[in-house]
């Protein structure tokens, strides 16, 4: 029994029926929306009244609007949920019995690691994975097959996706024959939720972890190897950093930093397709410039080649503007250029600590829980230095976060 909203009128229905019949199956194609509980229940009763009881159920709904969640209205979200969620819930209710040999749900990798452009679709598929776990907990059979991207030549939702972009993200297309072979392995293994996807880890890991580490995939052997290699940052592996450092060494500090910023802006323009570096606002956040995870990794790789430095995959998110990133690169190239400590009256140890603090992104301080404590310490004073002028404390509410952090870095501001 094959069902869909259009039934025999669905594209390819006649061909599929003929193929299955040739293999010896008795095939009926019916128009039935599985999201319609009453219609589905009536069809199940009719089928089982005319023949043996149903022993296997496969829910293969693939409808969905492939857009970011923020751009999905309630009607579009409901349509996706109806095709995936309501249909699965109805099938679960009608086959809440232990007489089935298999209850199979076709899910998507978007439910496992998320997808910025598949908000509603990812959520609906996550429900399928949860339903499979729930059925198993009730002592019933269930398997959710979490599919990667099928080759569009043979069908699948990838017909709407750009192959080049998918490959760039490390998720190449799967050939149908290989996918079907993997499907039977999943069924033989009697697992509950299994991912079946072709993943190029060398490409996927940098993109997927560009904003933050991911424990989800950290224990995969290939991933662990890639992350371990990536952790070795700051090392000149090409000789380029020495060459760049030599070219910048004789410049005044301000000119040197301007040259690094120009390099960063040039690479940004190349990655994003801007007409030139002058079109890149050095103070504008990378996200506002048009960066996503894929382009962030591209920029990181290009800067690594241009400077000879090795950066973590999170560098574009740790230093989220051209100006901040250029400052970080300058500090990596000239780590001893922390200023004249004698002129500032600071002992070398204090100067080193201050330099270290200024190199830490504000986001890292906040995420680690240190920002509040740092600001609290900045608000205290050493009695030996005498009373603190109360006037600045009265206007602290007028300061923004950047002012507070600068205050924390320089106690003399208090």
pLDDT tens track for 216-243: 888 888 888 877 776 655 444 445 556 7
Cα 35 to Cα 86: distance, rounded to the nearest angstrom: 5
Look up the pTM and report it.
Answer: 0.61
pLDDT given at position 101: 93
- Residue range 87-129, pLDDT digits in tens: 999 999 999 988 899 999 999 998 988 877 778 888 899 999 9
Would you place residue 315 in the very low, low, confident or very high pLDDT band (cuts 50, 70, 90)? confident
Residues 273 and 149 in one domain: no
| pLDDT tens-digit readout, 153-166 | 654 555 545 555 66
Is there a contact between 69 and 110 (Cβ–Cβ < 8 Å)? no
Largest CA distance in the chain: 96
Residue 134 pLDDT: 97
d(CA 224, CA 227): 5
DSSP secondary-structure letter at 83? I
Task: Clarify whether residues 194 and 307 are in a common domain.
Answer: no
Q: Do 60 and 154 sit in the same domain of this protein?
A: yes
Same domain, 163 and 286: no
- Answer yes or no: is 123 within a domain: yes
Q: In angstroms, rounded to a whole number, what is the distance separating the alpha carbons of residues 2 and 46?
A: 14
Distance between CA atoms of 394 and 372, rounded to whole angstroms?
19
Is 117 in the same domain as 183?
yes
pLDDT of 344 > 70? The answer is no
CATH assignment of the domain containing 312: 1.10.1200.10
Q: How many domains does the chain contain in total?
A: 2
pLDDT at residue 404 is higher than 90: no
What is the pLDDT averaged over residues 347-363? 62
Q: φ and ψ at 87, to 5 degrees?
A: -60, -45
Distance CA 404, CA 358 (A): 13
| Count of other CB atoms within 10 angstroms of residue 303 | 22
Token readout for 335 is 């780590």
Is the residue at 99 inside a domain? yes
Least confident piece of the model among 13-27, 229-243, 274-288, 394-408:
394-408
Q: What is the mean pLDDT of the chain?
A: 79
- 365 occurs within a structural domain: no
Residue 49 scores a pLDDT above 50? yes
pLDDT band at 383 (very low <50, low <70, confident <90, very high): very low
Predicted confidence (pLDDT) at residue 21 exceeds the cutoff of 80? yes
Are 169 and 282 within one domain?
Answer: no
The residue among 333, 357, 373 that closes a domain is 333
User: Is 328:319 a contact under the CB 8 Å cutoff?
Assistant: yes
At 141, is the pLDDT very low, low, confident or very high (cuts 50, 70, 90)? Answer: very high
Q: Does 72 map to a domain?
A: yes
Residue 229 pLDDT: 74
Q: What percent of the chain has pLDDT over 70?
A: 75
Neighbours of 40 (CB within 10 A): 20
Q: What is the pLDDT of residue 352?
A: 59
**CB neighbour list of residue 275: distance below 8 Å, 6 or more residues apart:** 269
**146 or 357, which is more confident?**
146
Asked whether 156 and 150 are in contact (CB, 8 A), the reply is yes
Cα pseudo-dihedral 347, 349, 354, 360, rounded to 10? 170
Closest CA to 108 of 177, 156, 142: 156
Q: Where would I find the beta strands (DSSP E) of 339-407?
A: none
Within-domain flag for 409: no
Gap between the Cα atoms of 173 and 171, Å rounded: 7
Residue 223 lies in a domain: no
Q: Residue 163, CB half-sphere, CA atoms under 13 Å: how many?
A: 9
In the block, tokens 């382009």 appear at 295
In our burial notation (b when 16+ CB lie closer than 10 A, e otherwise), range 167-183 reads ebbbbbbbeeeebeebb
| DSSP helix/strand/coil, 56 | strand
Q: In this structure, how many other beta carbons lie within 10 angstroms of the beta carbon of residue 46?
A: 13
pLDDT tops 60 at residue 309: yes
Q: pLDDT-derived band of residue 189, with 50, 70 and 90 as boundaries?
A: very high
Decide: residue 54, CB within 10 A, 0-12 exposed, 13-18 middle, 19+ buried: middle
Whether residue 188 sits in one domain with residue 317:
no
pLDDT at residue 341 in the model: 39
> Which residues constitute the domain of residue 313?
237-333
Bridge pairing between strands 143-147 and 193-196: parallel
Q: What is the pLDDT of residues 234-280, one digit of tens each?
A: 444 445 556 788 888 888 888 888 999 999 999 999 888 888 888 99
Measured distance CA(207)–CA(222) in Å, rounded: 15
Predicted confidence band of residue 186 (pLDDT cuts 50, 70, 90)? very high
Q: What is the mean pLDDT of residues 294-323?
A: 86
Residue scoring higher pLDDT (135 or 407): 135
Percent of residues, the chain, with pLDDT higher than 90: 28
pLDDT at res. 413: 42
Q: What pLDDT shows up at residue 340?
A: 42
Average pLDDT over residues 198-221: 80
pLDDT of residue 389: 47
Please give the span between the terminal C-alpha atoms of the chain, in angstroms, as a whole number. Answer: 77
Residue 390 exposed, middle or buried by CB count within 10 Å (0-12, 13-18, 19+)? exposed
More confident call, 409 vs 61: 61
pLDDT of residue 275: 85
Question: Is 116 within the bounds of a domain?
Answer: yes
């Amino acid at each position: 029994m094959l069902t869909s909203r259009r039934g025999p009128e669905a594209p390819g229905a006649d061909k599929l029926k003929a193929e299955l019949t040739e293999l010896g199956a008795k095939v009926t194609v019916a128009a039935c929306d599985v999201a319609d509980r009453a219609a589905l229940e009536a069809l199940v009763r009719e089928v089982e009244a005319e023949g043996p009881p149903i022993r296997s159920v496969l829910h293969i709904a693939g409808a969905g609007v492939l857009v970011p969640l923020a751009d999905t209205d309630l009607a579009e979200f409901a349509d996706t949920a109806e095709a995936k969620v309501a249909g699965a819930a109805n099938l679960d209710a009608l086959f809440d019995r232990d007489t089935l040999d298999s209850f199979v749900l076709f899910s998507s990798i978007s439910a496992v690691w998320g997808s910025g452009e598949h908000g509603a679709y990812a959520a609906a598929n996550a429900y399928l994975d949860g339903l499979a776990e729930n059925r198993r907990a009730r002592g019933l059979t269930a398997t959710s097959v979490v599919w990667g991207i099928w080759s569009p030549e043979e069908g699948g939702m990838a017909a709407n996706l750009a192959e080049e972009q998918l490959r760039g993200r490390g998720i190449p297309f799967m050939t149908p024959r290989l996918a079907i072979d993997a499907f039977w392995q999943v069924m033989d293994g009697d697992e509950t939720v299994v991912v079946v996807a072709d993943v190029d880890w060398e490409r996927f890991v940098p993109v997927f972890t560009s904003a933050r580490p991911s424990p989800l995939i950290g224990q995969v052997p290939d991933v662990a190897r890639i992350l371990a290699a990536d952790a070795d940052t700051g090392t000149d592996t090409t000789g380029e950093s020495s060459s760049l450092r030599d070219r910048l060494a004789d410049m005044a500090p301000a000119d040197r930093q301007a040259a690094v910023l120009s390099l960063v802006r040039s690479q940004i323009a190349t990655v994003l397709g801007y007409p030139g570096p002058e079109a890149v606002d050095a103070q504008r956040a990378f996200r506002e410039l048009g960066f996503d995870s894929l382009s962030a990794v591209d920029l990181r790789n290009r800067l690594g080649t241009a400077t000879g430095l090795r950066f973590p995959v999170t560098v574009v998110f740790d230093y989220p503007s051209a100006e901040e990133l250029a400052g970080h690169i300058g500090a990596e190239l000239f780590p001893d250029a922390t200023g004249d400590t004698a002129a500032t009256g600071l002992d070398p140890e204090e100067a080193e600590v201050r330099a270290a603090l200024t190199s830490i992104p504000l986001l890292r301080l906040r995420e680690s829980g240190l920002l509040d404590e740092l600001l609290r310490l900045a608000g205290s004073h050493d009695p030996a230095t005498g009373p603190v002028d109360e006037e600045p404390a009265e206007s602290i509410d007028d300061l923004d976060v950047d002012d507070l952090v600068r205050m924390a870095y320089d106690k003399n501001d208090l």
